[in-house]
Amino acid sequence: MLPASLFMLIWLGILVFIAGGWPLAPPLGSWRPGVSRAVPGVGMTAIWWALTVATVLVAQLFMAWPEFLPYGVVGFWLTLLWGVNLASWPLAGKVRPSIALVVGAIVIYGATSAIYYGLVKPSIVPPDYMVGLLLWHVAWLLVFSPAFITQGSPFRRLKQPGLGVAELVLSFILAYVSWDVFTLRMGLATPQFSFGVAASGVIMWSLAYSWAFSFAGVAKYRQPKRGVLAFMVMVAIVAAWTAIMWAPLQWPEPKLPIELAATYFNLCVVMPALVAHNAFWLRAPLAPPTPLGAPPPDQGV
């Protein structure tokens, strides 16, 4: 299930970050206060899963099951890079959300196919190396993204696409150091633990702490102080989360290695559940979520 689950993440990112929740969920869908939150919850979840299943069925016609993993990681990376760090530039605010959904899907899957069949499948970039590097790149992208952890600091004075490009370069350097230098060259962690536990934990908790938990404990500070404190809190949560989930993921003995089980649990179970609960179900039955990127980086609450 892990390889196919990545298509689920791609579609979730397209629906939430590129299409803005269209057609049923806010901010760009039809839901309005006073309407049951079950309407966007049930409707958007059904659309999300229908698109995922259809994509998996089509993908099986063109690639073998093991290829889903590297292909899906490329697509996951591109979706968050464009939808979060570039804030869907230049589509955001320029086209209808229905157009953004269609164009976003075409661009994401087209670019993913070009990268995969041009670089990964012929092993110009080895698949195992690419998976680790891109997952670490996603981790650092989210740390410096306009919506999460640092909320774009130290580049938030820039406009798109300059902001996204600056974050792309900095996060790629940090990803290369985390993966190629610290993991592969220095051996500070096994490759499986590095991307499967550490990187996946940073990805999930950067998003969860900033959005689902609204910068709890540090929201009163402005950026960049909020970002520094949020990063420290997120790292502590990742460490505690890893320790807590380690034993349950080993019992009963999983078919997957424990590191890959952690990857699946973080990225393909907990993270999409949190995102869908926030974006589609509007955190029902709890209080509605704060908007993505709130509180503003220059305001404490």
pLDDT tens-digit series, residues 127-155? 999 999 999 999 999 999 999 999 999 99
What is the predicted pLDDT for the residue at 252? 56
Q: What percent of the chain has pLDDT over 70?
A: 97
Q: Is residue 13 part of a domain?
A: yes
Q: How far is CA 171 from CA 142, 165, 290, in A?
A: 9, 10, 26
Q: Taking residues 84-112, what's their average pLDDT?
A: 97
| CA-angle at 159, arms to 15 and 272, nearest 5° | 25
Structure tokens at 132: 């680790």
Mean pLDDT over 224-246 rounds to 96
Using a 10 angstrom Cβ sphere, with 0-12 exposed, 13-18 middle and 19 or more buried, the burial of residue 192 is middle
Q: What is the mean pLDDT of the chain?
A: 94
How many CA atoms lie within 13 Å of 242's alpha carbon, on the beta-carbon side? 22
Query: Does residue 2 surpass a pLDDT of 70?
Result: no
Q: Domain total for the chain? A: 1
Over residues 79-93, the pLDDT tens digits come to 999 999 999 999 999
Q: Is residue 295 part of a domain?
A: no
pLDDT at residue 285 greater than cutoff 70: yes
Residue 301 lies in a domain: no
pTM: 0.95
Residue 1 binned pLDDT confidence (cut-offs 50, 70, 90): low
78 in any annotated domain: yes
Amino acid 191: pLDDT: 96
pLDDT given at position 104: 97
Q: Per-residue pLDDT for 192 more than 80?
A: yes
Provide the pLDDT confidence category of residue 253 given band limits of 50, 70 and 90. low
22-75 confidence digits (pLDDT tens): 999 999 999 999 999 999 999 999 999 999 999 999 999 999 888 999 999 999
Q: Is the pLDDT of residue 251 over 80?
A: no
- 162-191 pLDDT per residue, tens: 999 999 999 999 999 999 999 999 999 999
Question: Does a structural domain hold residue 35?
Answer: yes
Q: Please write the tens of the pLDDT for every residue from 196-208.
A: 999 999 999 999 9
pLDDT at residue 286 greater than cutoff 60: yes
Report yes or no on 58 lying in a domain: yes
Least confident of 25-29, 90-94, 280-284, 289-293: 289-293
- The answer to whether 20 and 97 have CB atoms below 8 angstroms apart is yes
CA dihedral 294, 139, 287, 222 (to 10 degrees): -30
Asked, for residue 173, whether it belongs to a domain, the answer is: yes
Instruction: State which residues form the domain around 133.
Output: 2-279
Q: Say which range, 34-48, 103-117, 213-227, 248-262, has the weakest mean pLDDT.
A: 248-262
Q: What HEC string does the chain produce?
A: CHHHHHHHHHHHHHHHHHCCCCCCCCCCCCCCCCCCCHHHHHHHHHHHHHHHHHHHHHHCCCCCHHHHHHHHHHHHHHHHHHHHHCCCCCCCCCCCHHHHHHHHHHHHHHHHHHHHHHHHCCCCCCHHHHHHHHHHHHHHHHHHCCCCCCCCCCCCCCCCCHHHHHHHHHHHHHHHHHHHHHHHHCCCCCHHHHHHHHHHHHHHHHHHHHHHCCCCCCCCCCCCHHHHHHHHHHHHHHHHHHHHHHHHHHCCCCCCCHHHHHHHHHHHHHHHHHHHHHHCCCCCCCCCCCCCCCCCCCCCC
Q: Supply the pLDDT for residue 254.
A: 60
Q: Can you tell me which residue has the tokens 């993505």?
A: 292
Nearest of 268, 280, 267, 269 to residue 142 by alpha carbon? 267
- Output the CA torsion sign for 185, 191, 197, 202: positive
- pLDDT at position 257 is 83
Q: At which residue do the structure tokens 């968050």 appear?
A: 80
Is position 137 within any domain? Answer: yes
